[in-house]
Each structure stands twice: as structure tokens, then as C-alpha cells.
Amino acid sequence: MPINHDQLIDMVDKIPTFQESVHRILALTTSPDCSAKDLVQVIEHDPILTIKVLKLVNSAYFGLSQEVTSVNHSVVYVGINTIKNVAISVATTGALPKSNKAGLNMNRFWEHSLAVGVIAKLLAENKGVGKNEQANYFVAGLLHDIGKVLFAHFIPTEYQEVLTKHDAAKTPLHQAEKELLGFDHSEIGAMVAEKWQLPPDLINSIKNHHGAEAQDQHPLSLAIYAANQTAHYLELIKQASEDNDTDALDAAAKIDDGLPAPVKAWLGWPLSDVSKWLSNLDEEVDKALAFIDLSDGD
């Protein structure tokens, strides 16, 4: 049942590349006065992205009466704001498999990933991280669990057992993975990020999102750890209030108490306080989710 390192590398190899253009789009679109010309150039220099944008604009969603034949044409026709939103959606979600046979609920996966991305970005904002760098916080949050998708896609039978063990024995997922597969999703996730040539800090934040005990960590790693735990905390609090579930409440308190010291120090307040200024999180996540549905057309 455990997988070997070669199998791990093989899975990573099969994942398509995550283009440089994606970073550039995310960096560009983080700035409110993003130049239309630059955005068009980034899309145009990436044939796959170009095809995806054109496919979407020409799809039934838009229902245009003329066929759009170039990125410039699409901007003239439906406007730069629309193309900007379409590009972000296609860029961030286009590289991943859409379904799996292991029973990993992809909607929940994305909801959680987006929540972590949004929270990480908000935390970065709050901690005074520069605008340009904030995109990395969002991407790191979005991708932190990417390893789960690889497992579920490439070794569905084994991963189903992992998911079952996690559900039945309440073993944390990364521990169940380690026990049954020998590797956990943060390790393979970091390998994918490496293959995609993401910045080293971002790779580390994926690698460390279940282990931030070490000192001298980059704020990105601390933010992703904190954002991930915040998302879990909020889910438990929601469950507790909806089902009057005191176990969930205890579990939430345990997450809050169990934050590693460096994360606690970086955050500066307990999770119960963080959650208070995230009241419109659901809305932000819903908005981002719409992008994912939108790019489901290939």
C-alpha cells in the first residue's frame, strides 16, 4: 500500500506545467490600476491561456453574435474588466484535474482552498505585506492542499482508504496519509509547486502547512498555517452553531489552543478574534467559486 518515491515523482510529472503567465496575471491583477495592454500581452504569450480565454468568451455563457478570434478582439468586444476576471479564473484553476474516483469532494476541496487563499490574503493585508506580494499569499492558500488532488487522481483506490480512515478514526488527514501511503499531501504538493517553479517561499509554505513549529519561518508559511487553521476553526464553529455540536466547539477551541508558538506570535491574536473580522468571507469565497465553475469547460 505505501507508495515509493518514484511513484510520487511520476505523479508530479503527469501534472501539466503551471505557466509563468499565471503568476504574471495574478501579480498584475492584484493592482487596481492593472494595465490592459500588459494583461493582453501576458495572455497572448501563452497559447494555452489564449485558447481557454477565447473558448470561454465564445461559449454559450457569453452568447455573443460574432466569433471572437483574438485576445485583443475579446477586450474590444466584452471589455477589459470581464477579460481580467476570465483570465484569473482560467489561470488559477485550469491546470488541475476536475474530478477523481477516490471520493474527494472537489467542491469542498475548492471551497476550503479558496477560503484559505482569501484568509491568507486578508492576513497579509492586515500585516502590511506589500500589494504585489499579496497575490502569492492568495495563490499559496489556493494551492496548499494541491497534493490531495494528485493522490485522489492518480491513486484513487489507495486514497479512498486514506479518506475512510480519516473519517472513521478521526485521524487527521495528513497523518492518515503518512501512515497508509508513506507520504502526505504537503510533501507531494510542495513537489508540484517546485515543478511549477513557484517562488521558494511559496513552496515552503505548502510543505509546512501542517508543521510550523520551527522558528525563523517566512511570514508566508506562518500565514498559510494560520489561514488553514482559521478556515478549519470557522468550519467547526459553524457546525457547532448549526447542529448544537459541543464536540465541534471543543475541537475548535483545541485548534486555537494548539497553534504553534511562531504562528501565534505572528498572528498576534487568538483565532476567535481573527474570525470576527472575516464576516464576509463566505461571500468572497462564493465569488471566487463562480470562477471555478466557469473554467470547467474543457
Partner 1 sequence: MIISLRGVRGSIPVPGKDTVKYGGNTTCIDITTDEGDKIIIDGGSGIRQLGNELMKQLPVSCSIFITHTHWDHIQGLPFFLPLFVPGNNIDIYGSFDPVYMKDLKTILAQQMEYCYFPVRESELNANISYNNLKEGEAIKVGSATVTPLLINHPVLNFGYKVESNGKSFFFTGDYEPPLNIYSPEDEGYEEYQRLIEQQKQILTDFIQGVDVVVADCQYTREEYLTKKGWGHGTHDSCIEMARAANIGTLYFTHHDPTRTDQELDEIYRDVMSQQGLPPTQFHIAMEDTKIEL
Please state the closest distance from residue 86 (CB atom) to partner 1, in A.
7
Exactly one of 73, 127, 165, 232 binds partner 1 (CB under 8 A); which one? 73
| DSSP classification of residue 2 | P
Residue 61 binds partner 1, judged by CB under 8 A: yes
Between CA 82 and CA 62 the distance in angstroms is: 11
Find all residues with CB under 8 Å of 244, minimum gap 6, and list them: none
Q: What span, in angstroms and rounded, lies between the C-alpha atoms of 9 and 20?
A: 21
Contact between 268 and partner 1 per CB under 8 A? no
Separation CA 22–CA 179 (nearest Å): 35
Shortest CB 183 distance to partner 1, Å: 36
> In the complex with partner 1, which residue's Cβ is closer, 149 or 292?
292
Least distance between partner 1 and beta carbon 146 (Å): 24
Binding characters for partner 1, 84-123, by CB under 8 A (x = yes): -xx-------------------------------------
**Is 75 a residue that touches partner 1 (CB under 8 A)?**
yes
Residue placing its CB nearer to partner 1 in the complex, 35 or 197: 35
Rounded Cα gap, residues 39 and 22, in angstroms: 11
Residues sharing a CB contact under 8 Å with residue 32, sequence separation 6 or more, in sequence order: none
Is the separation of the CB atoms in 193 and 206 below 8 Å?
Answer: yes
Q: Which stretch binds partner 1 (CB under 8 A): 18-26, 93-101, 169-177, 285-293?
A: 285-293
User: Could you tell me if residue 96 is left (phi over 0), alpha (psi between -120 and 50 degrees) or otherwise beta?
Assistant: beta
> Could you tell me which stretch among 66-74, 129-137, 213-221, 234-242 binds partner 1 (CB under 8 A)?
66-74
Asked if residue 77 binds partner 1 (CB under 8 A), the reply is yes
Task: Supply the Cα-derived Rg of the chain in whole angstroms.
Answer: 20
Is 287 a binding residue for partner 1 by CB under 8 A? The answer is: yes
Phi, psi for 228 (deg, rounded to 5): -60, -45
294 in contact with partner 1 (CB under 8 A):
yes
